[in-house]
Amino acid sequence: MRHPINYVARQIIMRYYRGMHKHCAKYITPPATSVTRQDREQRQGHRGAVFWLTGPSGAGKSTLAHAAEKVLFDKGMNVAVLDGDRARSGLCGDLGFSPVARQENLRRVAHLARIFVEQGIICLCSFISPAAADRGNAREIVGPADFSEIYVSCPFEVCERRDCKGFYKLARKGVIKNYTGVSSPYEAPEAPDLVLETDQIPEDVCTDLLARFIISRL
Q: Which residues are catalytic?
A: 129
Q: In whole angstroms, what is the distance from residue 130 CA to residue 132 CA?
A: 7
**How many Cα atoms within 13 Å fall on the side-chain side of residue 162?**
14
CA–CA separation, 194 and 84 (whole Å): 20
The Cα–Cα gap between 180 and 165 comes to 14
Phi, psi (rounded to 5 degrees) for 169 = -60, -45
Pseudo-torsion of CA 47, 213, 187, 111, nearest 10°?
-10
